[in-house]
Structure 1
Amino acid sequence: MAKRPDLTGHQKKIVNRYYENRDTISTTKLAEVISSLYLEDDPKKSGRLWKSAETALVNLGVAGPVAASLVAARDVRALAEAAEKIARDGGGAGVRGPKTT
């Protein structure tokens, strides 16, 4: 993190802890979005949730095209499997797009 003379020591510690736990925060956010997607009936709200899911995937290290393909498939189960793999492996580097049949 860049030096920020405008922050107090206490504030700097808060900011540093945020960045230390950023992957956990993003993983939790993705899990919450997936839960909301399972329950959501409104297509407009669902679209916003899918965009949030894509952002969370990219923040977790999933390649942009892979995240886009997971979102484009609109398959909540595939998204949940990807999130499980991310949580298990500690990052999104090994996540692949949805299977096409």
Structure 2
Amino acid sequence: MKKFTYLLVAFAMTLFLTACGAPTIDASSEQAMKESVEEMTKDMTEAEKTEFGMAIMAVTMKVAMQNMGNPEKAEEAVQDALDGKTVEEVIEMSKE
């Protein structure tokens, strides 16, 4: 019985930790993106905020350059590239 209880507790904790993922960018609209980025950066140091901001700019520039001929497509591609990404994922994308 104790073994079952331990397994049940371990399973519950795994589910809990899985549900508590890192916050992500919501690029469904300009306002949603602004709010999600503000939420993601509220507990960051100034240096971390700067690094994240520079990473967003780098990804935005790279994606926009790939779609230079069509500004509407470029904007959509930037939103698609950033939507659902965590801070770490955006920073990693900027280094590619």
Q: TM-score, normalised by structure 1?
A: 0.32
The structure carrying a bigger helix percent of its residues is 2
Higher RCO structure (Cα 8 Å, ≥6 apart)? 2
Q: TM-score, normalised by structure 2?
A: 0.33
